[in-house]
Chain A
Amino acid sequence: MDQYDCLNKAQLSFEYLHTNSTTHTFLFGALAELVDNSRDAGARNLDIYTSKDPYLRGGFYLSFLDDGCGMNYGK
């Protein structure tokens, strides 16, 4: 790979975060992605709840709390 250091590499732009999210037209499909992740982590419990916070757009935050395998930092 070192031999190619001088060549251009593709990058992710900030705008891609939005672009990528448009694969979900259906909002609950997006929530299901997070449920899938908890299931794949071997979770036996998943709490999905909201907490009010007037400083946030929409006035609340949405949490997914599972008891799955968790993660290390990695790399």
Chain B
Amino acid sequence: MNNIQNFNPKKQNKIFLDDVFNIIVFGKSGKRHSPDSNQIGQYGNGLKSGAMRISNDFILFTKKDNIGTCLFLSRTFHQEEHISQIICPMPCFDLITQQPIDNNDNQQINGTRTYTYDKIKHELEMQLIFKYSPFKTIEDLFKQFNLITSSTGTLIVLYNVKLLDTGDAELDIKTDPYDILIDSKNRQNLFDDDDER
């Protein structure tokens, strides 16, 4: 809907990476430790606090070195199955062969591609994703990975968005087909915002 061209305002000498695994370590960020950092993120909390403010659930797809990694964080799943700890399926795939990769084996990720992944763990992860995400088959899942047409990139899908008391979605996508609005009745929030991180 909104395509922001030439998005990156400053030329960055180095991009300091975070791993997918760090996302689920609350408060851990690889960005902070860089001396000449001009990164916005520092605290390792933005994705979780932001996504969970917008919706109940999200699924993240990220691509690098032709390896695709998913991260699935669903409150619907936790609520329906009465789970008190936070469980995050993170299946990993070779995007060329579409084979699952054991995401605990660095040797494979670095090219040894022998595919001795933990089948039970992988199948349990996929079962949860198909049950609780909008993507119900492996084909659906790879369609999302394929939306990342650049050699590297990340796609985040937020769903089961928060509703207003009226039952409408808090994000108004109906009024203007080319924009995402906040319901005008709540427009006052724009002026008495007291956000903090």
Contact = CB atoms under 8 A, between A and B. Distances in A.
Contact of A39 (B40, B45, B53, B64): B40
B175 interface: no
Contacts of B4: 45-46, 48
Taking residues whose C-beta sits less than 8 angstroms from the other chain, chain B's interface range is: 35 or more
A32 B196 CA distance: 12
Taking residues whose C-beta sits less than 8 angstroms from the other chain, chain A's interface range is: 35 or more
B47 A33 contact: yes
Given A24-B50, A73-B92, A49 B190 contact: no
A63 B163 contact: no
B170 to A, nearest CB: 6
Given A11-B85, A24-B195, A72-B64, A44 B49 contact: no
Interface string B156-192: 1111111100000111010000001010000001100
B142 to A, nearest CB: 15
B109 interface: yes
Contacts of A21: 48-53
Nearest to B8: A44
Given A14-B78, A20-B48, A57 B153 contact: no
Interface of A: 11-14, 16-18, 20-34, 36-50, 53, 55-75
